[in-house]
Structure 1
Amino acid sequence: MPEIVQNFEVNQPSKNVWEFLQNVPEVVNCIPGFSLIAQEGDNKYRGKVSIRLGPIVGSFEGEATIVESDNKKRFAKIEGQGLDRQGGSRASATVTYQIHDSDNGAIVDIVANLKLTGALAQMGRTGIVQDVADQLTKEFTKNLNNKLISAADNLDNKDIELGGEKPEIIKDSDSKTSISQNKNMELSATKLSLKIFLRLLLRLLGLKKKT
């Protein structure tokens, strides 16, 4: 049973990487040759995998189950099996991954134990499986980084849209000045009204206002 060990670094916080890896459809979209058919339970999925090992191409259909997931340790274990109906090959795998903090973001450690039967089993003994795993990991890392960066940018844009225009804040000194001006205007208006009222009253009485 070949054991494949991989690790890669992602320039995003480990928390974000862990949360993304819990979204199985998004993860599948990041892996070349993988496609999701259906989710058959909370932790069980059916899908297809097309892979080339040397001159042989295998097209597997099977299922994978998340048998362990630890949010605190950011560790998960997945078991899967599939059948290539055309070539008659079978494959089963147990995959574990764990996420660790790093200076630049997060490091993902992956260990996969594979069991191959049929024509692909002959290729599995030559080291070609390791080469294919290296290439898949490289492509997956690139796609994962792009997805996480895009998600972070969308979140920032939503924050800006929700924020809108900031309300104008009136400083305390400006507020006091405005209140003082309003009071002066009110006093001026009151004096003017009294002056007009007195003039009218004097006219009615036939008197002149003393200067």
Structure 2
Amino acid sequence: MTLVTLNVNGRALTAEAEPRTHLADFLRETHNLTGTHIGCEHGVCGACTLIIDGEPARSCITYAVSCADAEVTTIEGLDDDEVATQLRAAFRREHALQCGFCTPGMMVSARDVVLRLPEASEHEVRVAMSGNLCRCTGYVGIVRAVLSVLAERREAGQRGASDARSRLGPVGSGHAGATTPEAGAAAQPRRADARPAGARPTASARGVPIEPDWTPQTTFTKDFTVAHPPEKVWDFFGDVSAVARCLPGASLVGTPSDEHVEGQIRVKVGPITADFQGVADISRDDATRSGRIIGAGRDTRSNSATRGLITYVLKPEDEGRSTRVEVSIGYTLTGMLAQFGRSGLVQDIAGRLIGAFVQNLEASLGHTGSGGGAEPAMVSELNAGGLVFSVIAERLKAFWNRIFGR
């Protein structure tokens, strides 16, 4: 269990949570904030939408532990909000609700539309609200209510709020940091794209930023051995393009540098094909033969995002004739593909992916030492869907053996 502190509706609230507890359950079960409704639990229906650091977020696919020190506003915290008050009156006037189950999330999303798109047309409102599903009203009353508030605010000279967000993208905790009046601008919640003045721009991939102090939700270790001396393996790892060629499904965009790379990796999970386009920052230490890769990526087709942290160290074996590579892998996966992100399954799949990488690595290292010739045969792609079934079969077999003592 992890002790999690959030600033919820203007009050600091603390409670213990398991790493897998999503924010919706955390608020409902530990703080009795039941206005946040849980529907699909896959980030699709929008019923659980609330506000994190000023931006709407699906709380059913957001881990509570990842929001430590965040500013969270639920529907209960919008009682005195100006826009929410206008929307409540419009919803009543336009008969925009029936059973009410979708209404809390609908109100949060509608408030975002009013603040972010003050000149929105009916079509734009429908598109912006399409992430919230309603089984009762057919959306007609909801759209009329939002349009009427937009019209009222325009007539009154009320435009979008000065702190309304200017772009769409994944929502993180923001970790607002200082909150005292003396802190000035630092007291405002840090946005996903914020950075200190004069700092090198933070790399991002389709709105997924690389954050140096980011902590993975799940971490595990792997190791493998290649039949080549450490100095040769270390030199090879310094060639980013060569390493990328060894990783099934990976391809680079542009020319990588020693410290930064952009590219994509294709992952197939049964009928689903995801192309994660992303970036990574790379650091290496020649003295210890260790390295660190931190990256982020997004697949727009499935609206899934991932962050990853890989650290590795090379150690000699067999009197320096072989090299053992010890790898630590940390990751966070959100969106539709998160349903395939259970840590045990990911570890099994990662093991097979590393196995293919090692096979390609051995072929490449052998080829570089052979004086050229034809390109070595490489494993170019892995279908994770096939791996899922093999993993399940292996686990069932192990379970069967444990029962019968075999």
Superposition TM-score, scaled by structure 2 size: 0.36
SS at match of 1:79: strand
Asked if 1:24 is matched to 2:261, the reply is: no
- Which of these residues, 115, 124, 128, is aligned with residue 345 of structure 2? 128
1:39 deviates by 3.2
- For residues 343 and 329 of structure 2, the distance between their equivalents in structure 1, rounded to whole angstroms, comes to 17
2:310 is matched with which residue? 95
Q: Counterpart amino acid of 1:120?
A: L
1:40/1:20 CA distance change after superposition, 3 Å: closer
- Residue number in structure 2 paired with 1:119: 336
- Match for residue 4 of structure 1? 220
CA distance in structure 2 between the partners assigned to 1:140 and 1:40 by the alignment: 20
Native 8 Å contact 1:56 1:120 kept in 2: no
Question: Is 2:300 the partner of 1:105?
Answer: no
Aligned residue in 2 for 1:71:
286
How much does 1:130 deviate? Answer: 1.4
Comparing 36-45 and 6-15, the one that deviates more: 36-45
Gaps of 5+ in 1: 156-211
The 8 Å contact of residues 53 and 128 in structure 1, kept in 2 or not, is answered as no
1:125–1:38: structure 2 CA closer, same or farther, 3 Å change rule?
same
- Partner of 2:278 in structure 1? 62
Residues 238, 258 of structure 2: 8 Å contact kept: no
Give the conservation status (yes or no) of the 8 Å contact 2:312–2:326: yes
Partners in 2 of 1:106 and 1:48 — Cα distance?
28
Answer whether contact 1:53 1:129 (CA < 8 A) is retained. Answer: no
Give the alignment's Cα RMSD to 1 decimal: 1.7
Structure showing the higher strand proportion among its residues:
1
- Aligned partner of 2:265 in structure 1 is 49
User: Are the counterparts in 2 of residues 54 and 123 from structure 1 also a CA contact under 8 Å?
Assistant: no
User: Within 5 Å, which residues of 2 pair with 1:109-188?
Assistant: 109-125=326-342, 127-154=344-371
Residues 142 and 97 (structure 1), Cα distance of their counterparts in 2 relative to 1, 3 Å cut: same
* Alpha-carbon distance change, 143 to 15 in structure 1, aligned in 2, over 3 angstroms: same
Q: Distance in 1 between matches of 2:260 and 2:307?
A: 15
Higher normalized helix content (fraction of residues):
1
Superposition deviation, residue 56 in structure 1: 4.0
Contact 1:33 1:49 in 2 (8 A): yes
- Bigger relative CO (Cα 8 Å, ≥ 6 apart): 1
Instruction: From the CA coordinates, give the structure whose radius of gyration is larger.
Output: 1
Q: Any conservation in 2 of the 1:98–1:109 contact (CA below 8 Å)?
A: yes
User: Where does residue 203 of structure 1 map in the other structure?
Assistant: none
Give the conservation status (yes or no) of the 8 Å contact 2:241–2:256.
Answer: no
Deviation of 1:42 (Å): 4.0
Identify if the C-alpha distance between structure 1 residues 55 and 6 changes in structure 2 by more than 3 Å, giving closer, same or farther. farther
1:149, 1:137 → 2: CA distance?
18
Q: Which runs of 5+ in 2 are unaligned?
A: 1-216, 373-406
How far apart, in 2, do the equivalents of 1:118 and 1:55 lie?
17
